[in-house]
Amino acid sequence: MNLLIPFLLWSSLAVPVSSGVPVPRSRVGVPFVRALEEAAGAGRITPQELLRHRRLAVTDPERLPEPWRSLRMASPVPAWAGTAVLVENFQWSRRLGLRDDAQFPTVVQYLDSAAYPIRVAYAIEADLPLAQAVLAAAEEAWRLEVDTWGFVAPPLVTSEGRYRIYVDDSGMGGGGYMAPVDFHWDTPWDDCYSYVVIDRLNSPFDAGPVVAHELSHATQGAMDCLETITFWENTSTFIMAEVGSGGRGWQDAFLTYFQDYPEESVAGGSYEDPELGYFWYGGFLWPHFLGGLYGGEEHPAVFVRRVWEGAMQESGGYENTVSYMHAIDDVLDAQAGSSLDEAFGHFTVSRFLLGPNGRAPAADMPHAQEYTSVPPIEADLAVDLPTQFTPAAGVRPEPYAVNYLTLSVPAGFSREVTVRFSTSDAANWALVLFSTKDGEVLSVPAAGGAAELVYTPGEERTRVLAVARLGTPGFHSDESMTGAGYSIEAGPTFPAPRIEAVTPAEVVAGRTTELTITGEHFVEGATVQFSPYFFEADTVTFVDAGTLRVTVTPGADTGLNWMSVTVTNPDTGADTLFDAFYIDPPPKKKKSGCATCPGSNSAGALWLLLALIVLLRRRN
């Protein structure tokens, strides 16, 4: 693989300075971190000082020099950001050829596991109950994560040959973090050794999910310490519930931060909005989906482990040359004969059918009804008439992200609908149509920036359309991601007919007449009806989309009236032209005026007179 590509991706996240050493710009956009970057960009501190201050802000804020110590006290690094800050720091240090002077904290008192190489250290006696709970949780997590599911065990480099977990004040008010210390040079792949801190403000009853999460980070560092931070967090949040069912509630609490922003990539981007801080955590749904639906007979965590294995590289600690998204593609192909793009299209349906939609026939996310968050709908399009939609700039989907629309029709509408998609973006896209009421799912990939999806609404009046953006050319999970625009045109496949005129304007009752109906959007097989006096057309001949020829024979008893004409296409689209023509009555027979014609009164009198004359002549 070309090593230049990852370097360019990482360098795009840095701010160059006059010294030639770029200022590392973090994905963790918390105020303290951004203040350090601004100072380094202005030359007030060096990139080396930036990295050191950023690490101390998490691990030992009392050692920060002023004014940074005061700023850190006023604006602490939030609990969700601790591991991310330290992992990114570690990655940048090696990439820039700088030394990170991270080291193990001092051990005061400790508990050692009799079953696993784990040491839980604590500083004050009041922390003993929590330390005991942490040790029990760590043993269970190690048993499952390492022994059962096969994640690589954290390197054991301490003098006692145990992995260290500290119970201490993290300054975060709860939770914990994993801190990389250095690369583990005994192996050829880019792994690192580390330690974990569990905040002393955690309740012993909450120790299980927190410890499972942080120990998962330690196993990740043992496999690929250069991987994109997004995958670290969503994998560890996924693992929380696999180790213990109590983690499911934690997952659901994080999930809303992910579901509320479906336009953000599942591979993660740069988050300046504090509300997006837990997006990485809520993204557990992505590995949860992959492992649950594509893992086959294996435990879902084993599928996720295979992805981590596929993302490992041997770069000497310099570059994340194998993106975990590419590893997902490879594992899907090997395990399930699928692909990243196919799986993400499937995911757009599964992530919507949760909670209130969790009983939908198409719902297949594991534990769907236990998760309560559903992504927002960007627009409701009434498609019984032609309509258009383009997303606002702030919700345009990033690579491997999605917008949701609903397509609605009025009751009784059953005409075929066509949805047309177009974009100038070079990424792959797909349209996925589904419903919360039935199991039908239609998926159409875009080709050349265009796609067309055709469906018939049937009894279900509202369907959900997922507009999914897939990978961009050369996509890498470390790259900076931006949204892309597109347009949707939707409406009846065939426009409703429109009648412009009917000729002739008069028809005689009882007489056969050929009518010519002119207009547009007529379709072969169209029918013609008349009102308010109802009678059938003798014949209807389709000439072209603008002309129908109709022969009619109104009954002789049809009253004098203006008649309306309705044309209905086979898809039930219809139009009516009122007062289209007039019906004249049949003509009355005229009197002849012939005095000698048989049957006339005058002729009868004449014959009587002639008979009398003949009779009188005979008598004479």
Average pLDDT over residues 307-332: 95
**Matching residue, tokens 């629309």:** 405
Distance CA 269, CA 276 (A): 10
Q: Give me the amino acid identity at 484.
A: A
Give me 167's structure tokens.
């119970």
Distance CA 71, CA 106 (A): 26
Average pLDDT over residues 457-468: 94
Indicate the pLDDT class of residue 433, thresholds 50, 70 and 90: very high
CB 228 within 8 A of CB 27: no
pLDDT over 70 at 565, yes or no: yes
pTM of the model: 0.85
Fold (CATH) for 498-584: Immunoglobulin-like (2.60.40)
CB 435 within 8 A of CB 452: no
Average pLDDT over residues 223-239: 95
pLDDT over 60 at 594, yes or no: no
DSSP state of 78: P
Outline which parts of the chain fall under CATH 2.60.40.10.
498-584
| pLDDT of amino acid 13 | 46
**Matching residue, tokens 């993660």:** 268
Helix/strand/coil (H, E, C) string of 197-264?
Answer: EEECCCCHHHHHHHHHHHHHHHHHHCCCCCCCHHHHHHHHHHHHHHHCCCHHHHHHHHHHHHHCCCCC
Strand partners, 121: 110, 166
Distance CA 447, CA 475 (A): 18
Q: Which residues, other chains included, contact 122 with Cβ-Cβ below 8 Å and sequence gap of 6+?
A: 108, 109, 110, 111, 128, 130, 131, 166, 167, 168, 200
Give me 116's structure tokens.
């696993």
| pLDDT of amino acid 606 | 54
Pairing of strands 487-492, 417-422: antiparallel
Count of Cβ atoms closer than 10 Å to residue 179 Cβ: 28
Task: Measure the N-to-C terminal CA separation of the chain; round to a whole number of Å.
Answer: 145
DSSP assignment string, 554-604: --TTPPSEEEEEEEE-TTS-EEEEEEEEEEEPPPPPPP---SSSTT-HHHH
pLDDT over 70 at 3, yes or no: no
Distance CA 201, CA 132 (A): 14
Q: Is 68 helix (H, G, I), strand (E, B) or coil?
A: helix
Give me 56's structure tokens.
């101390």
Q: Is 71 helix (H, G, I), strand (E, B) or coil?
A: helix
pLDDT over 50 at 457, yes or no: yes
Indicate the pLDDT class of residue 69, thresholds 50, 70 and 90: very high
Indicate the pLDDT class of residue 105, thresholds 50, 70 and 90: very high
Distance CA 401, CA 59 (A): 34
Give me 369's structure tokens.
């009804």
pLDDT over 70 at 618, yes or no: no
Q: Give me the amino acid identity at 296.
A: G
| pLDDT of amino acid 142 | 98
pLDDT over 80 at 487, yes or no: yes
Indicate the pLDDT class of residue 572, thresholds 50, 70 and 90: confident
Average pLDDT over residues 399-410: 97
Q: Which residues, other chains included, contact 249 with Cβ-Cβ below 8 Å and sequence gap of 6+?
A: none
The closest alpha carbon to 279, from 345, 375, 197, 196, belongs to 375
Q: Which residues, other chains included, contact 178 with Cβ-Cβ below 8 Å and sequence gap of 6+?
A: 83, 86, 87, 194, 195, 196, 214, 217, 218, 221
CB 228 within 8 A of CB 323: yes
Distance CA 146, CA 151 (A): 5
| pLDDT of amino acid 4 | 34
Q: Give me the amino acid identity at 18.
A: S
Give me 364's structure tokens.
């297949």
| pLDDT of amino acid 434 | 97
Which of the residue ranges 315-324, 448-457, 550-559 has the most confident prediction, judged by mean pLDDT?
448-457
Please indicate whether residue 510 or residue 454 has the higher confidence score (pLDDT).
454
Average pLDDT over residues 146-168: 97
Pairing of strands 192-199, 163-168: parallel
Distance CA 371, CA 141 (A): 23
Give me 582's structure tokens.
């007039």
CB 175 within 8 A of CB 82: yes
CATH architecture designation of domain 375-492: Sandwich (2.60)
Q: What phi and psi values does residue 381 have, to the nearest 5 degrees? A: -105, 120
Distance CA 124, CA 87 (A): 28
Half-sphere exposure of 422 (CA within 13 A, CB side): 6
Average pLDDT over residues 438-466: 95
Average pLDDT over residues 577-586: 91
Outline which parts of the chain fall under CATH 2.60.120.380.
375-492
- CA angle (45 as vertex; 43, 46 as ends), nearest 5: 90
DSSP assignment string, 264-293: S-TT---B-SGGGTTHHHHTTHHHHHHHHH
Average pLDDT over residues 552-578: 88
Length of the chain: 620
Q: Which residues, other chains included, contact 245 with Cβ-Cβ below 8 Å and sequence gap of 6+?
A: none
CA of 281: how far to CAs of 22, 247, 252, 396, 428, in Å?
Answer: 29, 12, 10, 22, 26
Calculate the average pLDDT of the chain.
Answer: 89
